[in-house]
Amino acid sequence: MAGNLNFACDHRPVKMDPVGFTGNKERMLSAAYDILKKDAAELVWLEAAYDLETAKSRVKELAARGDGEYVIFDQRTRRIVASFTAPSARI
């Protein structure tokens, strides 16, 4: 797939783990999967998910709202692991 994935390839903390509090130390969790939408000549980052099933579920919700192609990018393998095309609106 064509597109710039550089912005989607870093591990960014997205949520605090409430169990990870130890005194004044806090542990950050990183999401393993990025959800992207194909937009003309590039892929646009939309959000992140911690597991593949959650990512797939979220992409299905996004695809139901509009047209376009969505992909799930695995941070660990640095590969696209799933692709979805939203159904076109029928007139």
**Number of domains the chain contains:** 1
Full residue range of the structural domain in which residue 29 is found: 6-85
The answer to whether position 91 is within a domain reads no
- pLDDT of the residue at 48: 96
The answer to whether position 57 is within a domain reads yes
13 beta partners:
30
The answer to whether position 80 is within a domain reads yes
The answer to whether position 52 is within a domain reads yes
Please choose, from the candidates 41, 42, 43, 49, the residue with its C-alpha nearest in 3D space to the C-alpha of residue 74. Answer: 49
- pLDDT of the residue at 59: 94
Print pLDDT tens along the chain (91 aa).
444 444 444 444 444 444 444 444 444 567 899 999 998 889 999 999 999 999 999 999 998 887 889 999 999 999 999 999 887 655 5
- pLDDT of the residue at 9: 44
The answer to whether position 90 is within a domain reads no
